Structure 1
Amino acid sequence: MTGDLQSWVGRSRRVADEMATPLVRRMAALTDRTDVALDRGAPVPNHWLSILFDDAAPQSALGPDGHPAKGDFLPPVPLPRRMLGGRRLTYHAAPRVGDALERETAIAAITPKVGRSGAMIFVMLRHTITGPQGLVAVEEQDIAYLEAKRNAPAPPEKPAPVPAAEWRDAWAPDPVMLFRFSALAFNGHRIHYDADYTRDVEGYPGLVVNGSVSTLFLFEALLRRHPGAQIRSYEARTMQPVFCNRPAFLCGEAPDAEGQRALWVEKEDGAMAIRIRTRIG
């Protein structure tokens, strides 16, 4: 079956969107930002692009998990559970309020693997975002498809070593935060708002914090310490899910000799859930 999926590599599509004033205003409210101008043409934090370019699939075309059904643009991967495994992104220009933007997405690779919880298939997407200024951003995104939950728990994962933090902020993601972000991004994935589905079907103990939410609040914590700076590039890897209504910490370390720094979400048990290498400027 995975051999059949390789025929999907190279497929592409384009989606147009706009960095509209209401979206910028709502993102500022979600992140408690009072320093972002809403005037047309004003620069917007680079990383706020994460709320644009939703699939906007018709209701009749959604799968049982709230995502668009596979087999339209995304390949018909024969595994039911889906999560974001990692991403690599470089910004070339700051989006501006009112900018009309376009994203071209190509299926770059499809890779089967075996992990702690069984068979997995990774679909790598490559996004190229352009606007009135030309190239805005290029992103590679790894979507992981997993087997259905099993009664036996997955073998424990060796904890990732946690660096020494230069700063560490307490963070308590709650259902309202997840709902507001999902509404902004038009993300219908039920693991972020439907507790019964998340527990009974996907097998998680609670609502799962969207990886984009964790990334957003890590960047906001960093930029509070560097007013006026922008995220220039980053690489993110998801290692464990972060669950709603459980204590966590947003952490960061000092930049290395090349100007890159590590950011991470640390769970209450000390485990690292998501790790980011980023550069600001």
Structure 2
Amino acid sequence: MLDPARASAMQAALGRGGAIAAGDALPPFYHQLYFWEARPPGDLGRDGHPRPGRGVIPDMGLPRRMWAGGRLEFHGPLRAGEAATKTTQVESTSRKEGRSGPLAFVTLRHEIAQAGRVCVTEMQDLVYREDPGPDAVKPIPPVAPVDEESAREAQFDATLLFRYSALTFNGHRIHYDAPYAREVEGYAGLVTHGPLLAQLLMLMAQEELGSLKRFAFRATSPLTLPDPATLCRKGTRLWVRAPDGRQCMQAEADV
């Protein structure tokens, strides 16, 4: 059941006006709020995610997990207050040797259906890698464009990251455990969720371009607290720019 209260809580967390009532169409990507995979502590990995190999995601033998990107097709609106089903399968897996060591890729296919028809098809790309060594060379992030037609400033803090993790039942410790994020996974601090950045870009695209048919996004560099970000759009192309000018995410909308 797609509880309207949970969608309204997301509206509040994102600072968006207006509660969502039963029968209302959910904003794009709000299906993340539902279909939780609640596992007991013994089924969790050190990072707070469900341990690979005990569910649909295979164990690729590498400890660090990242949501690298995704592609969504919106076939029809999901309605709050109505029952829905989510079907997940592994679309593909692969391994390769990167500049920083071995990488493993898992693509999941999610289909969210309501009233007997598929409303959303989502391809979710996950990347697994080794922990960074003391001498690990950090990849050079891409430089973000500065030719946007429209831009919005977005602020992030630990409260927003906590609330977003809670609403999406995301136990990944990089979003709330600063010592773990720095000392184990090698980040500069708490990491702003990639899906949160994608969510903000999707809402921006829908508000400025119209109802979305498709949306694709790819994370290119982590954004960590206390950094704000600039959400940018030029035509149907969108991106997230960090204060130092690097690109954290790129996306393409189809309306």
Q: TM-score, normalised by structure 1?
A: 0.85
Post-superposition offset of 1:96: 0.8
Which residue does the alignment assign to 2:111?
128
Structure 2 distance, partners of 1:124, 1:53, is 18
Are the equivalent residues in 2 in contact too, given 1:170–1:249 (CA < 8 A)?
yes
Q: Which of 5, 29, 35 is 2:12 aligned to?
A: 29
Structure 2 distance, partners of 1:232, 1:99, is 22
Which residue does the alignment assign to 1:214?
197
Q: Give, as a single letter, the amino acid of the residue that structure 1 aligns with 2:6.
A: L
Structure 1 distance, partners of 2:138, 2:211, is 39
Post-superposition offset of 1:233: 1.1
Q: Give, as a single letter, the amino acid of the residue that structure 2 aligns with 1:52.
A: Y
Which residue does the alignment assign to 2:44?
62
Kindly indicate whether residue 223 of structure 2 is the aligned counterpart of residue 242 of structure 1. yes
Are the equivalent residues in 1 in contact too, given 2:36–2:169 (CA < 8 A)?
yes
Unmatched runs of 5 consecutive residues or more in structure 2: none
Q: Residues 122-201 of structure 1 correspond to what in structure 2 (within 5 A)?
A: 122-132=105-115, 134-157=117-140, 159-160=142-143, 162=145, 164-201=147-184
Structure 1 distance, partners of 2:118, 2:202, is 22
Change (3 A) 1:87 1:194: same
Question: Deviations 1:167-196 (Å, cap 9, x if unpaired)?
Answer: 122222111111111100111010011101
Which residue does the alignment assign to 1:275?
250
Aligned-pair Cα RMSD in Å: 1.7
Q: Give, as a single letter, the amino acid of the residue that structure 2 aligns with 1:66.
A: G
Q: Give, as a single letter, the amino acid of the residue that structure 2 aligns with 1:134.
A: R
Q: Give, as a single letter, the amino acid of the residue that structure 1 aligns with 2:132.
A: K
Post-superposition offset of 1:101: 1.1
Structure 2 distance, partners of 1:185, 1:240, is 22
Post-superposition offset of 1:61: 1.1
Structure 1 distance, partners of 2:213, 2:18, is 19
Are the equivalent residues in 2 in contact too, given 1:36–1:44 (CA < 8 A)?
no
Q: Give, as a single letter, the amino acid of the residue that structure 1 aligns with 2:247.
A: M
Deviates more, 1:239-248 or 1:185-194: 239-248
Q: Give, as a single letter, the amino acid of the residue that structure 1 aligns with 2:221.
A: Q
Q: Which of 78, 82, 94 is 1:99 aligned to?
A: 82
Question: Deviations 1:222-265 (Å, cap 9, x if unpaired)?
Answer: 34445xx43321111111111121132111112xxxxxx11111
Unmatched runs of 5 consecutive residues or more in structure 1: 1-17, 255-260
